[in-house]
Amino acid sequence: MQWEIIICVVLGAAAGGFVNGLAGFGTALMSLGIWLQAMPAEQAVPIVAAMSVISGVQSLWLTRSGLSKGFRRLPRFLLPALFAMPLGTYILFWVDASTIKITIACLMLLYGAFLIAKHSLPQMNKDHPVLDALVGFASGLLGGAASLSGVLPTMWAALQPWNKQETSAILRPFNVIILGLACAVYLWRGYFTLDTLGLMAIAIPSTLIAAQIGVALYKRLSDGAFRRLLLWLMIGGGLSLIARELLFAAL
């Protein structure tokens, strides 16, 4: 195995693990842009899903103070996502790595723009079960296709009057369950080859260590500082990914 690939895997795992520990999602947003430079999508996406689950499981304890309210809302998102997730896995057959990378970059920039505009958006003081279900369904599709199950629920949660702990009580279990099932589907379809498992073994230590750093930072950040950090992570990552893709296209 080439050293360039190993370095790429370690860097992607560290970036994804850190953001997942910090925010409860985002492994795919940070890792795929790096890993897709060194491996095909049908290999990178299953590894991202597995690393999301590994880093997400160890940070689930952070949801303890908001468990009752978060778990009460969780089925509205989770049940539709369970139907959509297997459909999303078939998208891997129809799109190439370049399309996935551009989609990821656009989602990162969209999320950054969303956070910038959030102060002028209305806060929703009522429950909206139907909209929750639609967000869950779309997130299941994204989770199956590219391990991006957390982006839409995070945007939706930002409109709600939920504190950081209540939001985490939805996002973290949701992503662990959806991406855990995505891993099962990838395994059934033969995506976890010996080469893929070897790359996963390299990625796991960096993922776990970086996730713990993200968890520690999460505990120390105020809501405002947390939001600003996430904003610049998304915008910077999206711009970087688009710039790299345009550069490779021009060569």
Give residue 216's pLDDT: 87
Give residue 227's pLDDT: 65
pLDDT at 203 over 90: yes
pLDDT tens digits, 8-19: 999 999 999 998
Q: How confident is the model at residue 61 (pLDDT cuts 50, 70, 90)?
A: confident
Length of the chain: 251
pLDDT tens digits, 27-54: 887 888 788 878 888 888 899 999 999 9
User: Total structural domains in the chain?
Assistant: 1
Find which of 5-14, 69-78, 85-94, 230-239 is predicted with most confidence, using mean pLDDT. 5-14
In terms of DSSP H, where are the helices of the chain?
3-23, 27-35, 41-58, 67-89, 97-117, 129-146, 151-158, 164-188, 194-220, 223-250
Residue 221: domain span: 3-250
